[in-house]
Amino acid sequence: MAAPPRHSAMLSVSNAVGTPQSGSSDKSQTAQPPSTPQPTQGLRVPSNRKTIYDRHLNRSRNAELSRASFAYLFAEMVTYAQRRVTGIQDLEKRLNEQGYPLGLRLLDLLFYRTTTTSSSALSSSSTSSSPPNRPLRILTLLHLIHGPLWRLLFGRSADALEHSVSPDTPNEYMITDNDPLVNTYISVPREMNQLNCAAFVAGIIEGVCDGCGFEAKVSAHNQPTEMWPSRTVFLLGFGESVMEREKVLERAGIK
Amino acid sequence: MSYYFTILSPTDTPIFNIAFGTSKGGGDGIARFRFPDTAQYMNQFIIHSSLDIVEEAQWTNGGMYLKHIDTYPPAAAYISAFLTPSGARFLLLHQPPQLPNSGSGSGLGSSSLLGSSGNLARGSTSSIAANPTSPQTEEAVRQFMTEVYENYVKTAMSPFYKQGMEIRSPVFRTRVNAAGKKWL
Amino acid sequence: MPSSTRTVFSLIIINKAGGLIYQREYQAGLRSLSTNDYLVLAGTFHGVHAITRSITPKLPVAQTSPALTSPGGSAPVGFSYPNPGVPASGLEHLETEKFRLTCFQTLTGTKFLLFTDPMTGNVDTIMNKIYELYADYVMKNPFYQLEMPVRCEAFDRHLGAWLRGRT
């Protein structure tokens, strides 16, 4: 492999770890296909040689999770968040922060899964698959949260989606869940009755909004009714930059 | 054809870089850019200069694959972009090999979306290498991007990965390389 | 069916140290006690229950045990309770003319005391459901501290609704 000096320099720029032509194949790993990772970088590959990259993302699509194990896990998360908090708001903020990174991740997974279900295989031709669009407008984003995201998380759609009726707060939207899964087994003590542990879900929503480029603050509020004692309203307040862009996009006629 | 592929975080931090060459039509998969050795930074420079156009197109085109969005004529460098819903940008710079009869690439970035068919006849070979804006190239790049996206999602789902972190996994790098070999 | 056959008067939960952690009345029929008396009742019952458990006779293991096949003649001098495999449970029922007290002890030592009409059937089913609701709405609640009085609104709500629904 007589490489001109130029390209070897290029390889060093590209930091080509494990590329088959980088000469590392000369090392004692002889009969390895080029796609297998080379255990020289301190990477520990599981004994069955399957990394997360070898697992299909849709494998756990229809998998079911024990409600009890989630309840115990979430109870421990709340207990953990409760350590050394200064008040209810602080506790809600911590729960929110626990959910936020989850929202960022779920966003990519959600789109990946909708892409791959519209076309059976990933590598099928473009005519058979139409990948979903990224949400550009607030309403598309809200429908995404209300429908697909809720179904991914809880197996059903949210119960209501409303726009704030107050003219002072046109940037506020509300998503209602009559019986949030996370609160099923939780009874908040009377002295903390402002608290709603669905702040965790609010954090997930916030992560999804921020990930899509819609800066937002999301909070969870108790709105019990006779029929639904743990009814929760998620209040989404979008930032000013989002509202400005929304106006521009509306003028441009972009949906 | 030589390629330079970069993933940028939503805050424009480069989190992954790789350079490779075409494997189609007898290519050896080695990048041979036209810059002198002292100017390899040009790739990154050109890619980052197209970010403005990406950000403009981001809010007018809801698709994830934005196709060919920018051209840098002095280096005959073409940039294709792919946006993940969570705001990461995949940018691919492709530079066709210098043909003796044609000079630097024709066609400006603005005309690229429409003028692709006109360039079809120009290349001596119908392979994607010669026509950076042909529908075949767009399709090949799209397939490449989709495959990288799948692996990116897997990276992002790792509990040890935080958004915006550099992707250091050698497995990911091998996978991107394989995708490049397969499609480009 | 006359309503008396399915009457649940009240429920008491006692923690493993003998402290009263829950007391609710569901149907009138018994005279109420003062809070203090309920505490005394819980403590007393706890002690009596412990005694009834410790006077459960232990039966020496019969010679026809599976130890025959084990090597060495020194079979461990073991014993078993009258009902092998089930540890001594102590007091389970207490019956008067007007009510029946059923006690159920969980593996962790928490005791559920259910006061029902003597004619009420299927007390085990009721007890199982109560235990299930307790496991769900008390033990899965992050704000419940173990061994402390149960103040879980969802538990009250679901238990009340279920008991009302079946009477």
Nearest to B7 by CA among B160, B168, B167, B169: B167
The CA distance from B133 to B79, in Å, is 10
Question: What is the arithmetic mean of pLDDT over A112-118?
Answer: 72
CB contact under 8 A, A3 and B32: no
Q: Is the dihedral of CA B84, B90, B91, B92 positive or negative?
A: negative
Architecture label for domain C3-57+87-166 = 2-Layer Sandwich (3.30)
Preferred mutation among B83, B92, B154, B155 to probe A, highest tally of A CBs within 10 A: B154
Task: Let me know if chains C and B touch, i.e. at least 3 Cβ pairs under 8 angstroms.
Answer: no
Taking one residue from A and the other from B, the number of pairs with CB-CB distance under 8 angstroms is 144
Shortest Cα distance, chain A CAs vs residue B11, angstroms: 11
**Chain C residues within an 8 Å CB radius of A197:** 142
**Would you state the torsion angle of the CA atoms of residues C102, C107, C111, C115, taken in this order, to the nearest 10 degrees?**
-20
Which residue would you say has higher pLDDT here, C125 or B119? Answer: C125
Which H/E stretch holds residue B138? helix B135-157
Which residue would you say has higher pLDDT here, C44 or A252? Answer: C44
Domain boundaries, chain A: 67-118+132-251
- Is residue A107 a contact partner of residue A210, using CB atoms and an 8 Å limit? no
Preferred mutation among A102, A134, A145, A241 to probe B, highest tally of B CBs within 10 A: A134
- Is residue B91 a contact partner of residue B6, using CB atoms and an 8 Å limit? yes
Interface partners of chain A (CB pairs < 8 Å, 3 or more) are B, C
The CA distance from C116 to C102, in Å, is 8
Q: Does A224 touch chain B (CB under 8 A)?
A: no
Domain boundaries, chain C: 3-57+87-166
Q: What percent of chain B has pLDDT over 70?
A: 78
Residue-level pLDDT at A162: 92
Residue-level pLDDT at C45: 94
Shortest Cα distance, chain A CAs vs residue B96, angstroms: 16
- Is residue B53 a contact partner of residue B64, using CB atoms and an 8 Å limit? no
Give the CATH number of domain A67-118+132-251; options: 1.10.10.10, 3.30.70.270, 3.40.50.2020, 3.30.1380.20: 3.30.1380.20
Listed range (A104-118, B103-117, C57-71, C141-155) with the worst mean pLDDT: B103-117
- Is residue C111 a contact partner of residue C104, using CB atoms and an 8 Å limit? yes
**pLDDT tops 60 at residue C63:** no
Shortest Cα distance, chain C CAs vs residue A93, angstroms: 17
| A134-190 pLDDT per residue, tens | 888 999 999 999 989 999 899 899 999 999 888 888 899 999 999 999 998 999 988
When the pLDDT of each residue in chain B is averaged and rounded to a whole number, the result is: 77
pLDDT band at A127 (very low <50, low <70, confident <90, very high): very low
- Is residue A248 a contact partner of residue A229, using CB atoms and an 8 Å limit? no
Residue C11: C-alpha distances to residues B64, C59, C96, C130 (Å): 60, 34, 17, 9
Q: Which residues of C lie closer than 8 Å to A, measured between beta carbons?
A: 136-137, 140-144, 151-155, 157
| C109-164 pLDDT per residue, tens | 999 999 999 888 889 999 999 999 999 999 999 999 999 999 999 999 999 999 88
The CA distance from B39 to C120, in Å, is 91
Compare all CA atoms of chain B with the CA of A209 and give the residue at the minimum distance. Answer: B86
Q: Is the dihedral of CA A248, A251, A254, A255 positive or negative?
A: positive
Q: Is the dihedral of CA B166, B171, B175, B177 positive or negative?
A: positive
Listed range (A118-132, A224-238, B122-136) with the worst mean pLDDT: A118-132
- Is residue C50 a contact partner of residue C28, using CB atoms and an 8 Å limit? no
How many Cβ atoms from other residues are within 10 Å of residue A105's Cβ? 22
**pLDDT tops 50 at residue C65:** no
Residue-level pLDDT at C167: 58
Question: Least CB-CB distance to A189: which of C136, C140, C151?
Answer: C151
Residue-level pLDDT at A12: 39
Preferred mutation among A108, A242, A254 to probe B, highest tally of B CBs within 10 A: A108
Residue-level pLDDT at C72: 46
Shortest Cα distance, chain A CAs vs residue B41, angstroms: 9
Query: Can you name the CATH fold of B2-183?
Result: Beta-Lactamase (3.30.450)
- What type of residue is C64? T
Residue-level pLDDT at C62: 60
The CA distance from A134 to C132, in Å, is 45
Tokens 């989709």 — which residue?
B146
Compare all CA atoms of chain A with the CA of B9 and give the residue at the minimum distance. Answer: A211
| Torsion region of B92: left, alpha or beta (phi above 0 gives left; psi -120 to 50 gives alpha) | beta
Compare all CA atoms of chain C with the CA of A72 and give the residue at the minimum distance. Answer: C140
**Would you state the torsion angle of the CA atoms of residues A172, A176, A180, A182, taken in this order, to the nearest 10 degrees?**
-10
CB contact under 8 A, A187 and C136: no
φ/ψ (deg, to 5) at C46: -60, -45
Helix, coil or strand: residue B49: helix
Residue-level pLDDT at A138: 92
**Chain A residues within an 8 Å CB radius of C140:** 68, 71-72, 75, 185-186
Residue-level pLDDT at A112: 87
**Chain A residues within an 8 Å CB radius of B154:** 52-53, 55, 57
Structural Rg of chain A based on CA atoms:
24
The CA distance from B160 to A51, in Å, is 14
- Is residue A186 a contact partner of residue C143, using CB atoms and an 8 Å limit? yes
**pLDDT tops 80 at residue B105:** no
Q: Does A131 touch chain B (CB under 8 A)?
A: yes
Distant-in-sequence, close-in-space partners of A117: CB < 8 Å, separation ≥ 6:
A58
Q: Strand C8-14 to strand C111-116: parallel, antiparallel, or no bridges (unpaired)?
A: antiparallel
φ/ψ (deg, to 5) at A154: -120, 0
**pLDDT tops 50 at residue B172:** yes
CB contact under 8 A, A10 and B31: yes
CB contact under 8 A, A185 and C157: no
The CA distance from B102 to A44, in Å, is 49
Token pair for A66: 């024990």
**pLDDT tops 70 at residue A43:** no
**pLDDT tops 80 at residue C54:** yes
Q: Does A13 touch chain B (CB under 8 A)?
A: yes
Shortest Cα distance, chain A CAs vs residue C158, angstroms: 10
Residue-level pLDDT at B119: 39
Distant-in-sequence, close-in-space partners of A67: CB < 8 Å, separation ≥ 6:
A181, A184
Question: What is the arithmetic mean of pLDDT over C7-36?
Answer: 91
Tokens 């290029």 — which residue?
A10
**pLDDT tops 50 at residue A123:** no
The CA distance from B113 to A153, in Å, is 38
Angle between helices A199-211 and A88-118 (to 10 degrees): 50
**Would you state the torsion angle of the CA atoms of residues C115, C121, C123, C129, taken in this order, to the nearest 10 degrees?**
-120
Q: Does A11 touch chain C (CB under 8 A)?
A: no
Sheet containing strand B14-21, strands side by side: B14-21, B2-8, B89-95, B77-83, B65-72
Question: What is the arithmetic mean of pLDDT over A117-134?
Answer: 51
Residue B140: C-alpha distances to residues A69, B76, B183 (Å): 44, 19, 5
pLDDT band at A63 (very low <50, low <70, confident <90, very high): confident
Helix, coil or strand: residue B175: helix
Distant-in-sequence, close-in-space partners of B88: CB < 8 Å, separation ≥ 6:
B7, B8, B9, B10, B15, B152, B163
- Is residue B170 a contact partner of residue A41, using CB atoms and an 8 Å limit? yes
Distant-in-sequence, close-in-space partners of A250: CB < 8 Å, separation ≥ 6:
A137
Interior angle at CA C80, CA C79 and CA C81, nearest 5? 135
Tokens 């592929």 — which residue?
B5
Nearest to B15 by CA among B119, B77, B82, B90: B90
Which H/E stretch holds residue A254? none
The CA distance from C117 to C102, in Å, is 11
